[in-house]
């Protein structure tokens, strides 16, 4: 019986991990760096994605704002799996076969992930 690997990854755990890695000292605004932030519910399409509002600059944002994961149609767990498969040296074609998005999507994702890793290592 074939198993869809995407069903084995928990959305809430992916978002929880992003929050812990991104804000180890607690959530802060990506626009003004204020820690005076309040929770403003969850995303309709991705219920594990927390929304926030900054009490200092009044801007609203979510867990993925100002990250390489923001603004894309693929869910966070697909990005996480893509990153894992990249670590296993799978080709874009192999990753697309496992994750089900088309090869063009996978190419864009792997390119962005590689660029993000390079940017992070140069800081």
DSSP of 45-106, one letter per residue? SSTT-EEEEETTT--EEETTTTSTTTT-SS-HHHHHHHHHHHHTT--HHHHHHHH-S-HHHH
Angle among Cα 86, 12, 28 to the nearest 5 degrees reads 90
One domain for residues 17 and 62: yes
Tell me the average pLDDT of the chain: 87
Residue 30 placed within a domain: yes
One domain for residues 57 and 77: no
| Confidence band for 6, pLDDT divided at 50, 70 and 90 | low
Which residue is associated with the tokens 């890793």? 117
Kindly report the pTM of this predicted structure.
0.77
How many residues would you count in the chain? 123
Residue 73 placed within a domain: yes
What is the token pair recorded at 14? Answer: 């992916």
One domain for residues 60 and 85: no
Residue 1 placed within a domain: no
Beta-bridged to residue 50, according to DSSP, are: 42
Q: Which domain holds residue 113?
A: 68-117
Number of domains in the chain: 2
One domain for residues 104 and 59: no
For the segment 22-59, what is each residue's pLDDT rounded down to a tens digit? Answer: 999 999 999 999 999 999 999 998 999 999 999 999 99
Residue 123 placed within a domain: no
Residue 3 placed within a domain: no
Q: Which residues, 6+ apart, have CB-to-CB distance to 39 below 8 Å?
A: 50, 51, 52
> Of 35, 52, 67, which marks where a domain is finished?
67
One domain for residues 39 and 76: no
Which residue is associated with the tokens 């990249």? 86
pLDDT of 58: 98
Strands (E) across the chain are located at: 37-42, 50-54, 60-62
Of 3, 5, 2, nearest to 77 (Cα)? 5
One domain for residues 41 and 63: yes
């Amino acid at each position: 019986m074939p198993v869809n690997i995407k069903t084995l990854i928990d959305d809430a755990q992916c978002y929880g991990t992003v929050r812990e890695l991104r804000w180890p000292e607690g959530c802060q605004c990506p626009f003004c760096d204020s820690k005076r932030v309040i929770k403003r519910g969850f995303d309709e399409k991705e219920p594990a994605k927390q929304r926030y509002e900054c009490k200092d600059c009044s801007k609203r944002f979510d867990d993925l704002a100002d990250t390489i994961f923001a603004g894309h149609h693929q869910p966070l767990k697909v990005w996480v799996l893509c990153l894992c498969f990249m670590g296993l040296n799978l080709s874009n074609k192999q990753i697309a076969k496992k994750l089900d998005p088309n090869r063009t999507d996978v190419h864009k994702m792997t390119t962005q992930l590689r660029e993000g890793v390079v940017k992070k290592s140069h800081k």
